[in-house]
Structure 1
Amino acid sequence: MQRYFVAPEQFRDGVITITGEDAHHAARVMRMKADDQLIASDGTGLSALAVVREVTPQEVKAEVLELLAPDSEPAWTVTIAQSLPKGDKMELVIQKGTEIGAAAFLPFESERMIVQYDAKKEAKRLERWSKIAKEAAEQSHRHRIPSILPLASWKKLLAGISDYDLALFCYEREGDRAHGQGIGDVVRAWKQERVEAMESASGKEPSILLIVGSEGGFTEREAEEAQAAGARLAGLGKRILRTETAGLVGLTCLLYESGEMGGA
């Protein structure tokens, strides 16, 4: 069944109003007509099965039949902090990360970042990334659209680590079992320390920041600074992963450890 995301103000009083490109898609591409059904979400977790009442290329109105439980959202809210990669790699990270279950994406600057950041292109880039996240959320039957946060400096990234229940710094040296710990080891130790107490006290979903380097990886100094700021170093295996692969692997590991894929 076709799914669309609408702004919260377009989802009220039992009526869903779809406009813009989505209305054109519904009318011209899907050829929807009165009495067809669709699913609409407001991007924050509210979703409903609705029946179409009116269709034009500019606007589609649908009546809510029933509200749907947001059962496709992960129990842990994971933000992928990705050092800005070159080319269209960030688009891949956002698209596939959204499908897997990321809650947000935070691009940031690091020492070995290859791409030259252009502030003039920031707004256009964020708009493009947001569109990719929306389309991927629709395709994967998400009830929320992940947030795309503005590019952060290294110092701002470090300052924000304390806002999360757990920050994982993906560091290739930790992939060597003789040297460090894998992401599973780190997360299981953290769960033992904090998750049970936190969930029993408040029922709050754990928030996790997954920090991934650029094509050149992280320097030893960056690893030390991240650790000093409260992040835990974690490896993603013995092999060296591409920057666009590392965050997706880490996210999958986290969702497994949350119990969504049979872990926990």
Structure 2
Amino acid sequence: MQRYFVKESAKDEYFTITGDDQRHISKVMRMAPGNFIICVDSKGNSAECEIAEITDEKITAKIVKWIEGSPELPVQVTIVSGLPKGDKLELVIQKGTELGAYEFIPFISARSIVKWDAKKADKKLDRWNKICKEAAEQSHRTILPAVTAPVQLQELIKLAESYDQKLIAFEESAKEGEASMLSQTLQQLKRGQSLLIVFGPEGGLTEQEVTALQEQGFITCGLGPRILRTETAPLYALAAVSYHFELMG
């Protein structure tokens, strides 16, 4: 059953769907009144709905039943990715959404080869958020992760103040065989709390960046004995969080 995120809450037991989703339902999926979809509101509540009316401007869907339970990770994980080359960040956003990430913050690191073009910023952000939305719908999320505009180091430090736990996935820690800090952090993290993890670009983080983050309470950690690519490391971390909180019982 197709799933759609609806910006407004239901009114009189009906959801109203407009914009791209209206076009997707009517033109791409070629649905008709009587077909069923799942609508997710801005608070993360999902409901099975029957399409009641389709017009050129909107689709009206009647709530049949609310769906109990949540597929969301019990902790909020924010992924900070040093801006990588090509479409690697798109992969992180897509697969990271499937794995349960709560938010994505691109980071303009000293070693980021890609330079952020402010003139193309809106178009790029729209694409990232579209990828995120499609992945959230596909993976039956009830929360639509946010993708922010890229930040500089000082902006990142300021944003990080509100998080319960803060980690840096650091290549040098992996090389030195550090294998406990990720596990220790997850054991300390309680359900409902937040975790922010910083990942460097292809060239890694500089010592100056790591030191600046450590001075603000960040802890460096390894992600196993192998050196992971910049697009692989966030997915490893999310899988570890899922295993710890959802599979270990």
TM-score, L = length of structure 1 = 0.88
Q: Please state how far the C-alpha of 1:130 moved relative to its aligned partner.
A: 0.8
Partner residue in 2 for 1:38: 37
After superposition, residues 51-200 of structure 1 pair within 5 angstroms as 51-176=50-175, 178=177, 180-188=178-186, 190-191=188-189, 195=190
Partner residue in 2 for 1:220: 207
Q: Please state how far the C-alpha of 1:188 moved relative to its aligned partner.
A: 4.5
Is there any run of 5+ residues in structure 1 with no aligned partner, and where?
200-204
Report the identity percentage. Answer: 42
Q: Please state how far the C-alpha of 1:149 moved relative to its aligned partner.
A: 1.4
Indicate the RMSD between aligned Cα atoms, in angstroms: 1.7
Q: As a proportion of its length, which structure holds more helix?
A: 1
Q: Please state how far the C-alpha of 1:183 moved relative to its aligned partner.
A: 4.8
Structure 1 residues 120-179: Cα deviation after superposition (integer angstroms, max 9, x where no partner)? 11111111111111111100001111011121111111222221000110001111354x
What is the rounded CA distance, in whole Å, between the counterparts of 1:168 and 1:184 in structure 2? 8
Aligned pairs, number: 249
Structure 1 residues 213-263: Cα deviation after superposition (integer angstroms, max 9, x where no partner)? 001001222222211111111111122211111111111112222x21x12
Paired letter, 2:7: A
Alpha carbons of 1:224 and 1:189: their partners in 2 closer, same or farther (altered >3 Å)?
farther
State the secondary structure of the residue aligned to 1:243.
coil
Q: Please state how far the C-alpha of 1:63 moved relative to its aligned partner.
A: 0.5
Q: Please state how far the C-alpha of 1:28 moved relative to its aligned partner.
A: 2.5
Q: Please state how far the C-alpha of 1:182 moved relative to its aligned partner.
A: 4.2
Q: Which moved more, 1:64-73 or 1:110-119?
A: 64-73
What is the rounded CA distance, in whole Å, between the counterparts of 1:184 and 1:222 in structure 2? 20
Asked if structure 2 preserves the Cα contact closer than 8 Å seen for 1:45 and 1:70, the reply is no
Partner residue in 2 for 1:231: 218
Alpha carbons of 1:73 and 1:5: their partners in 2 closer, same or farther (altered >3 Å)?
same
Q: Please state how far the C-alpha of 1:44 moved relative to its aligned partner.
A: 3.3
State the secondary structure of the residue aligned to 2:122.
helix
Is there any run of 5+ residues in structure 2 with no aligned partner, and where?
none
Partner residue in 2 for 1:263: 248
State the secondary structure of the residue aligned to 2:166.
strand
Paired letter, 2:231: E
Q: Which moved more, 1:239-248 or 1:51-60?
A: 51-60
Alpha carbons of 1:224 and 1:172: their partners in 2 closer, same or farther (altered >3 Å)?
same
State the secondary structure of the residue aligned to 2:115.
coil
State the secondary structure of the residue aligned to 2:232.
helix
Q: Please state how far the C-alpha of 1:72 moved relative to its aligned partner.
A: 0.9
Are positions 1:3 and 2:20 aligned together? no
